[in-house]
Structure 1
Amino acid sequence: MHGRENLTTVTEFIILGFPEYPELQIPLFLLFLLIYLIILMGNLTIIALTCLVPRLHTPMYLFLCNLSFMNITSTSVTLPKLLDIFLTKRQRISAGGCFAQLYFFIVSESEEYLLLTVMAYDRYVAVCHPLHYAVIMNQRLCVLMTAGLWIFGILYGAAYIAFLLCFSYCGSNEIDHSFCDLSALLKLSCTSTFPLECFIYIMGTFAALPCIISTLVSYVYIISAILRIRYTQGRRKAFSTCSSHLTVVILYYGTMLCSYMRPTSTQSLTQNKHFAVLYNGFIPMFNPLIYSLKNQEVKKALSKLAAPILMCRDQKNVFSSCDCKTSYLRKR
């Protein structure tokens, strides 16, 4: 596109993906396809377990189910288009599709860091106030917190899109990223992005920073409570209920802060693309693995659901073996 155009006249953008690796497009397609399939399989398993196993109908697994849904949402609006770029070289995306992709990504990601804070508070109550857990984390509070997360995410994403609709673009319409990322779109703007940058830092100060502080304070109390437990087995059991969530918190906050909480002038699009692979690919892929491998309740639920399948398979093998023996005896 040439000259200075208002955003309302833009009809499409071009997502470059990873053109710096022309010889690796097919291997990258296979890698990201595998990542996406693992994300879907792992997170859908967590959702299915939460819905089907009554013992998992607790606040912690309600929040974990929402986290899995957000992981599926954030990757499903970005990775399929990237896979299409790798395989068919169709890099064009309509302006509406681009902003829809960014909107749903922002909604899911903003909800996720709030949800991690809520989950930290849930673990704090479980470890530090176990006798009052059922009273504090009651069904009404959990539903209100979950609804609040969704309302905040929807409004937060709408605010970003409202800012972007006021920008003008000139020159290239090529997005040097793996999807319609905010930082890449800001690089294309030929008008001042200062208002949006101020909004980002204001929200970081009044929303993201309190979430981080609340999570850190929760874990300070949790760790201090665990250290006061006299018995080693009790300490190990208490820590096992929090270790998976703490691992996810460190991975998520680390990559998001490194990617977004930097001045736009110092941001490298190549670095942002690599960070995007972490928080939009590997973290959603590892989340269900971390929670299932480190959580005894999830392991027991998986074993309980898998037991009938294994039993049927064993019975089928027994019947098959009997049929073979009967056939052999008849021939004799």
Structure 2
Amino acid sequence: MSNRTTLTHFLLLGFSAVCELQILHFVVFLVIYLAALMENLLIILAVALAHHLHTPMYFFLVNLSLIDLGSISVTIPKSMVNSLINSSSISYAGCVTHVFFLIFLMGADFSLLTIMAYDRYVTICQPLHYESVMNRKACVQMVASAWIGGILYSALHTRNTFAVTFCAGNMVDQFFCEIPQLLKLACSNLYLSEIWALIFSACIVLNCFVFIIVSDVQIFNTVLRIVVSLFVCTGIFAYPKPTSSSASGLDLVVAVLYSVVPPMMNPVIYSMRNKEIKSSLRRLSGGRLFTKNYFSVFLE
């Protein structure tokens, strides 16, 4: 411990250092990032410009799109820049920022999915009470609680993670700063508090997941079940497991599944198959943008 030096940066080693593979990584991530940006921005714009879409469900969808925009912007741009400049370095402060915003947005994302499940439950099971239960004030309070809860949740995990002593090097086997990979570098017992916090969080997530399944039992379609299950199961696999138990290749695949895929797929699952959203997008584009291009696949 006396030989410990203060870390000023970490090295993100998630992808290969081979130049050709770095270019491939950049291109793939660029396509995914641009697709996610376009999908989510179009949804926000469509809802904002269509007065008849100013309802609780679409209010929640806009917030989900904002969260998805933020979450995919936390991890992918830095990884693409590192590929372009042939670097794997991220500053200590940058790593702290990565962890805080990723956990914050993931927590807010899942909270909002739970709120949306409750909205659908009230719509189907208590239609006569919908307007009184899901009024403007209640909707704003629920969304605010999701955002604030995500901030508090993230602050807890970020503090626990960076309170430990890192003395096992600065090489992180991931393409972004991920808590389990950072804890592998810890050499103090303080990391145990974060492990228990992650396990407790997994229990909360599972409870929310059960609520989503129960509340959506009559309208739960196959694609929605797959995407939510993917988000929950990969997140639980990545976080509350022993810090040295898995191969880095598997960790990389799991990280892509829970941090990159949901922000790109949520707009397709929750919005672009919705008739009113599709109608608003067609009016927004003059009826041509979504008839002869890539997005027509999702609008059929």
Q: What TM-score results when the alignment is normalised by the length of structure 1?
A: 0.80
Moved over 3 A (4+): 20-23, 242-248
Which of residues 178, 200, 203 is equivalent to 2:201? 203
Q: Which amino acid is the alignment partner of residue 24 of structure 1?
A: L
Aligned to 1:253: 232
Look at both structures and tell me which one has the larger radius of gyration over its CA atoms. 1
**Which deviates the most, 186-195 or 248-257?**
248-257
Q: Give the drift of 1:151.
A: 1.0
**Which deviates the most, 251-260 or 107-116?**
251-260
Q: Assess if the C-alpha contact under 8 Å between 1:184 and 1:269 holds in 2.
A: no
Which of residues 266, 284, 293 is equivalent to 2:263? 284
Q: Distance in 2 between matches of 1:159 and 1:42?
A: 32
Q: Distance in 1 between matches of 2:153 and 2:113?
A: 17
% same residue: 40
Q: Distance in 2 between matches of 1:61 and 1:293?
A: 12
Q: Report Cα offsets for 1:200-246 as digits up to 9, x if no partner.
A: 112222x32321221122123xx1xxxxxxxxxxxxxxx49x77654
Q: Give the drift of 1:271.
A: 1.5
Which of residues 155, 169, 172 is equivalent to 2:169? 172
Q: Give the drift of 1:290.
A: 2.3
Q: Distance in 2 between matches of 1:191 and 1:30?
A: 39
Give the CA RMSD over aligned residues.
Answer: 2.1
1:1-332 equivalences in 2 (<5 Å)? 3-5=3-5, 9-19=6-16, 23-192=20-189, 193-205=191-203, 207-220=204-217, 223=218, 239=219, 245-307=224-286
Q: Report Cα offsets for 1:106-132 as digits up to 9, x if no partner.
A: 000011111111111111111222222
| SS, match of residue 4 in structure 1 | coil
Q: Which amino acid is the alignment partner of residue 190 of structure 1?
A: C
Specify whether residues 282 and 95 from structure 1 end up closer, same or farther in structure 2 by C-alpha distance, changes over 3 A only: same
Specify whether residues 12 and 20 from structure 1 end up closer, same or farther in structure 2 by C-alpha distance, changes over 3 A only: closer
Q: Assess if the C-alpha contact under 8 Å between 2:40 and 2:65 holds in 1.
A: yes
**Which deviates the most, 175-184 or 186-195?**
186-195
Q: Distance in 2 between matches of 1:257 and 1:154?
A: 19
Q: Distance in 2 between matches of 1:267 and 1:261?
A: 12
Q: Give the drift of 1:21.
A: 5.8
Specify whether residues 144 and 249 from structure 1 end up closer, same or farther in structure 2 by C-alpha distance, changes over 3 A only: same
Q: Which amino acid is the alignment partner of residue 228 of structure 2?
A: V
Q: What TM-score results when the alignment is normalised by the length of structure 2?
A: 0.88
Q: Distance in 1 between matches of 2:123 and 2:252?
A: 38
Q: Assess if the C-alpha contact under 8 Å between 1:17 and 1:82 holds in 2.
A: no
- Name structure 1 gaps, 5 residues minimum: 224-238, 311-332
Q: Which amino acid is the alignment partner of residue 218 of structure 1?
A: S
Specify whether residues 248 and 139 from structure 1 end up closer, same or farther in structure 2 by C-alpha distance, changes over 3 A only: farther
| SS, match of residue 38 in structure 1 | helix
Q: Distance in 1 between matches of 2:55 and 2:229?
A: 24
Q: Distance in 1 between matches of 2:18 and 2:268?
A: 29
Q: Give the drift of 1:308.
A: 7.5
Aligned to 2:294: none
| SS, match of residue 216 in structure 2 | helix
**Which deviates the most, 21-30 or 260-269?**
260-269
| SS, match of residue 14 in structure 1 | strand
Q: Report Cα offsets for 1:266-325 as digits up to 9, x if no partner.
A: 233321211111122222112212234421111111122223888xxxxxxxxxxxxxxx
| SS, match of residue 13 in structure 1 | strand
Q: Distance in 1 between matches of 2:255 and 2:232?
A: 13
Specify whether residues 64 and 157 from structure 1 end up closer, same or farther in structure 2 by C-alpha distance, changes over 3 A only: same
Q: Which amino acid is the alignment partner of residue 4 of structure 2?
A: R
Q: Distance in 2 between matches of 1:163 and 1:208?
A: 19
Q: Distance in 2 between matches of 1:219 and 1:270?
A: 34
Specify whether residues 244 and 49 from structure 1 end up closer, same or farther in structure 2 by C-alpha distance, changes over 3 A only: farther
| SS, match of residue 188 in structure 1 | coil
Q: Which amino acid is the alignment partner of residue 265 of structure 2?
A: F
Q: Which amino acid is the alignment partner of residue 264 of structure 1?
A: T
